[in-house]
Amino acid sequence: MAVVAVANGGFRGPVLLYRTGETLGHVASTALLVGHVEGAPASVTLGQYDVLAGQVRIVPLASLVAPSLFGRQLTPPLRLSGPGDSVRTIMKKLINDPDGVVDEMLDGMTAAHPDRLRRLPDTQVLVRDDGPVDGKVALVTGGGSGHEPTHAGYIGDGMLDGAAAGDVFSSPTADEFEELIGACDAGDGVLAIIKNYEGDVMNFETAIELAEMEGVEVESVVVNDDVAVEDSLYTSGRRGVCGTILVHKAAGAKAAQGADLPEVARVAEKVVDNVGTMGTALTSCVTPEKGEPTFELGDDEIELGIGIHGEPGTERTETMRADEITEHLTDAVLDDLDLDEGQEVLTIVNGMGGTPQMELFVVNRRLQELLGERGLETCDAWVGDYMTSLDMAGASITVCAVDEELKELFDAPVDTPALTTK
């Protein structure tokens, strides 16, 4: 049975699926396997597991040989097509080995910015090349990779002092966070900015405890700006998404002014209390490890209220016009913030990694109209890819209520690989 099952699987990929299409191929493959089971006498099937006859060796042998025989044929990029089907690519990415993609990305970042970034040896931690910076509170963060330019893209003057990169959509370890904190501390304390995902929170909290035992003063702020869901697949409470970038910006500017750790933490919390975000997915994303979409969306479907790891949203609905999607996201954010008429806001239209700038500007057009209809004033509007989800097509909308203090901090100069203002 093991031999037949392995052979059937090998036959299914390169032959059946290629010639008949995925759906018919799987049906035919199943029928062939079931037919074998039903048609073979029980004595024959049981004989395959007769220890005395030595046949049990077939099972481990098949398990050992099958990956070599058929795995290479099924390794992406594999193109499947059939009569009447359009060609579909399971995975086509500029990567070498999925297991090494984060390491190679970090090396590529440091090679692109050798005067800004350096990598701590034997870690997935990047820090300022000129750090730790004397006389300044250090800002650190981190999380799973796949959200670039978040996190390390915001290391530099006016924002972060360092960031730890986990594997794709996976939190860095507590050890990595501890290394990060220790490398960035110049004696004035460290603020850890944590997106509200259970792995990030747990590992950062452990790292903070270890750092404090070494005499480092650490405070933390947890960002939970996603208004879509209260609890989700990876969180207790609301998720931390694109609003995190504004926490980096305001707190980073305050630290650059020479403020002490409690003041920097206060500003960070102030942004958290006044920011909301909601996103939508037009397509899923494809992780390098899986080589297939993290969730399925029909050609005429979109997902509203998604997270940045492909988590389910609040509603799956038919495709809508850009204005309708913008209205849905904006209304949800503004209803959550409950702002008074005349309030000034900063907005972000953030691409999820696979959406052209053209479409993001279309969204921003309607967003600004909606804010005007509610009597809100926009002091600044950011449009671009700030916190992505690999190659997902979609966007998120962030609105942050501002006062004179936050306006000044958001306008302050910043010099990082991903964001530079004078």
What is the Rg, in whole angstroms, of the alpha carbon atoms belonging to the chain?
Answer: 25
**Which structure tokens are listed for 224?**
């939970």
User: Is 147 noted as a catalytic residue in this protein?
Assistant: yes
Neighbours of 137 (CB within 10 A): 28
Task: Tell which residue, 257, 246, 247, 249, has the closest CA to residue 220.
Answer: 247
Catalytic residue among 147, 151, 248, 328: 147
Task: Tell which residue, 143, 77, 145, has the closest CA to residue 107.
Answer: 145
Helices 243-256 and 261-273: crossing angle, nearest 10°? Answer: 150
Q: What whole-number distance in Å separates Cα of residue 56 and Cα of residue 349?
A: 60
User: Is 26 noted as a catalytic residue in this protein?
Assistant: no
The DSSP string of 206-221 is: HHHHHHHHTT--EEEE
Catalytic residue among 113, 151, 309, 328: 309
Strand order in the sheet with 125-128: 117-119, 125-128, 162-168, 138-145, 190-195, 218-223
Q: What whole-number distance in Å separates Cα of residue 71 and Cα of residue 9?
A: 10
Residue 200 dihedral angles phi and psi, to the nearest 5°: -60, -45
Active site (catalytic) residues? 147, 309
